[in-house]
Structure 1
Amino acid sequence: MKDWDDMRFFHAVAEGGSLSAASRSLGVNHSTVFRRINQLEERLQTRLFDRLDNRYQLTDLGLQLYERVRQVADVMDDVERQVAGRDTLLEGSIRLTCPDTFLDWIVPGLIAEFCRQYPQITVELRADQEHLDLARREADIALRATNLPPEYLIGKRLGQMDWGFYGIPSLGEFPESLPASSVASVIAPEGKLLQVPACQWLDKQLPRFSVSARAGSLRAAAALARQGLGLALLPSEAAEGLVRHANPAKNFDTGIWILHHPDMRQNARLTCFVRFMSEAFTQWFAAQKKA
C-alpha cells in the first residue's frame, strides 16, 4: 500500500457508515473523505462500498479489508494512548465529549475558566448525545450522565442530577408527584431531548398532561417555563430562577461522571483538567445545597 493514510479514511467510513460521520470523526471536510475513498478504490481497482442514498455499505471485498484494517487500527490506538498517556507537558489539546444538555448549565463556564488558568491547553468540545469511544481516542475525556459508567474507563463521580417539575411560583400547587389525577400544563420535549430517559418518560405521559409548548433543549424548556407557560421537567442544575412544584412519578436522578481511559492516567494536561473539573463541581454542588 503506497499510502497507509488512505486506510484511516476507509476505516472511518466503514465505522461511521457515511461520509458525513467519517468527516466528523476525522476532523476534515466531506469532500476530502469522498476524494480519498475514490482514490483508494481506483488504486485497488475494486469497489469497497455500495452507495445507498447517503449510506456507504461495505461490499464483500470491503468487509474483508475492514476486518484486517480494524485489527491494525486497534493496535495503533493502543500505541497512541500509551504514548499520549506519558505526556508530562501542560500544553496541547484535550478533546472533551459531553451530552449537549450539559451546555445548558455550568460546563461552558468551567471550560472558559480552565482555559484562562492554563492558556497553553486547548479544550476541543464535542457536545452531542453520541457516546464517543475513548479507547479509540475519539475523545480524551467524557462527562457523562449515567449511573453505570463503562467498566473499561476510570474516573470520578462528580455529583447527581436531580430531576423535577419546575415552573414560576404563581402556577399554584400540584400533587407531590406527577402525572396525577389533576391535569397539569407542561412544556413537552422534542428533538434531541427525546434521547434523555426522563424526557422519554414524559413524552409517553403526555396524554395525561395539557401541552402548552414544546422545546428541543433544557435551556429552551427552562426559558419557556420562566415565561409562565407551564411546568418543565428539568434537572435542578438547569432550573435557575424556577420553583420546584412536583417530582416525576419515576425517579430519574442520575450520576454525573468524568471519565478517561486508564492508559491516559499519567497524561499531565488530562490529570490537570480532571482535577480542576472535580474541584469545580464539588464547590458548585456544595453551593447549591446551601442555597
Structure 2
Amino acid sequence: MVAATQYKIGYADLEVVLALVRAGTLAQAGERLSLDASTVFRTVQRIEKGLAERLFERSRSGYVPSELARELAARAEQMEAQLEAARSAVQGSPEQVSGTVRISTTDTVLHGLVAPALLQLQTSHPLLTYELHTGNELANLTRRDADIAVRATKRPPQHLVGKHVGPIRVALFGPKQGGLASFDGDVAARARWVAPDDALPEHPSVLWRKKHFPKVAPAYRVNSILTVAELVGRGLGIGVLPLFLANRRCDLVQLSEVLDECQTELWLLTHMESKHLRRVAAVFSHLSRNLLLD
C-alpha cells in the first residue's frame, strides 16, 4: 500500500473526482470527461489506493462522495475557474467569454423567458454555447448537473445563491376564438378544462381549481404548463396560465382577474462555487437583467 503522504494528486485526478461528485454515476462522469465508465472507475480506484482513503460510497442510486471527495471537488472547481480565467486572458479580448453554460428550468420558463433573453446574449458573447435541461425538479442543479437554474418557487434551497426575479402572476385564459368573454361558476361547469393534474398535482393552479371548482374534471390532463397554453390556444378548452406566457400570444384571451392564490416567485439560482466562473457569471448577470415577467 502506498502511503497517503507519498501520493501526489494531480489536476487530472481532481477532474475525475469533480466529475463524479457532480454527476453521481460513472457513466455520466465519463460523458463529462469524454471517457468510458470503466476508465473513470479505475481512476477512482487508483486515487483511493494512493490516498489510502475511500472517496465514494457505492449505492444503487450512484456514487456518494465523502467529505474528502467534496473538499477535493471544491479545490478542483477553484482550479477550473483559474484555468478558465487564463484561457480568457489569451483570447485577446477580456470581454469575450467562451465555454458551455448548463441551464436548468421548466419548458414554460425556457420558451417564455429564458430563450428570448439568450437570443440577446448572442451579440455580446457569441462564443458561448448552452446545454438546456427542462424538468420540474431541482435535483440536477443540486447535484451540479447544471450551472444555473431558473425556477418558480417561494422557498429556494438555502445552499444555493441567487436573485429574486419577481412574482409570477397567473389568470384563467381561454381561446380567443372561443366566444368566452368572462368567467363564472356556470361557465366553469360547462367548460372543458386543460390542466397538469397528474404531472404537477401540487401546482398552485391545480390546487386553486380543486378548491374553487371541486366538481370539475379536466378534459385534457397534460404534463406541462406550456402544453396547457398550446391546447387552450387551439380551442380545446380553458386553463390557468402565467401572464408572462399568455399575454405574448395572440390566440388567448384572459377570462379572470389575476389569481392571487396561485402566485409564486421566480428565482435565478446557482452554486456559490459556480458563480465565480466567468462564463456562468456572464450568463447569470445577463439573465438577472433580462428575464422580463411583465
Q: TM-score, normalised by structure 1?
A: 0.67
SS of residue matched to 1:246: coil
Which of the residues 32, 36, 48 maps onto 2:36?
Answer: 32
The 1:27/1:10 distance shift into structure 2, 3 A limit, reads closer
Instruction: Confirm whether residue 92 of structure 1 aligns to residue 92 of structure 2.
Output: no
Report whether the alignment pairs 1:144 with 2:151. yes
Other-structure match for 1:289: none
Superposition deviation, residue 224 in structure 1:
1.0
| Separation (CA, whole Å) in 1 of partners of 2:274 and 2:46 | 39
Match of 1:73?
73
CA distance in 1, matches of 2:125, 2:259: 44
1:245 aligns with 2:255: yes
Aligned to 1:113: 120
Correspondence for 2:91: none
Is 1:217 aligned with 2:224? yes
**Aligned position for 2:4:** none
1:254 matched to 2:264: yes
Contact 2:105 2:136 in 1 (8 A): yes
Q: Match for 2:254: what amino acid?
A: R
- Matched ranges for 1:158-197 at <5 A: 158-169=165-176, 170-171=179-180, 173-175=182-184, 182=189, 184-189=191-196, 193-194=199-200, 197=203
Secondary structure of the 2:200 match is: helix
Counting matched residue pairs gives: 266
Cα gap change, 1:224/1:232 in structure 2, threshold over 3 Å: closer, same or farther?
same
Q: Deviation digits for residues 201-254 of structure 1, max 9, x if unmatched?
A: 268568521322122222221121122221112111222231222368771212
Match of 1:156 in 2: 163
What letter corresponds to residue 66 of structure 1 in structure 2?
A: S
In structure 2, which of residues 211, 226, 243 is the aligned counterpart of residue 236 of structure 1? 243
Taking a change above 3 Å as real, the CA distance of residues 249 and 9 of structure 1, as seen in their structure-2 partners, is closer
TM-score scaled by structure 2?
Answer: 0.67
Deviations 1:108-153 (A, max 9, x none): 1321231233212223333323326768754333322233344555
* One-letter amino acid of the structure 2 residue matched with residue 256 of structure 1: L
Taking only the aligned residue pairs, the percentage that are identical comes to 23
Q: Which moved more, 1:245-254 or 1:178-187?
A: 178-187
Q: CA RMSD in A?
A: 4.4
Q: Which runs of 5+ in 2 are unaligned?
A: 1-6, 89-93
Between 259-268 and 100-109, the greater mean CA deviation after superposition:
259-268
Mapped partners of 2:209, 2:118: distance in 1: 32
SS in structure 1 at match of 2:102:
strand
Give, in whole Å, the separation in 1 of the partners of 2:271 and 2:287.
17
User: Following the alignment from structure 1 to structure 2, what is the Cα–Cα distance between the partners of residues 39 and 75?
Assistant: 18
- Distance (whole Å) between structure 1 residues aligned to residue 167 and residue 110 of structure 2: 16
Structure 1, residues 36-62: CA drift from partner, whole Å, max 9, x if none? 336756997999636x5xx44x7xxxx
Name the SS of the counterpart of 1:167 in structure 2.
Answer: strand
Report deviation, 1:267.
5.5
Confirm or deny: 8 A CA contact 2:160 2:272 kept in the other structure.
Answer: yes
Check conservation: 1:179, 1:249, Cα contact below 8 A. no
State how far apart, in whole Å, the 2-side matches of 1:262 and 1:36 are: 26
For residues 254-288 of structure 1, the C-alpha deviation after alignment (integer angstroms, 9 at most, x for no partner) is: 22233345566666554543443344335x62xxx
The answer as to whether partners of 2:74 and 2:273 remain within 8 angstroms in 1 is no
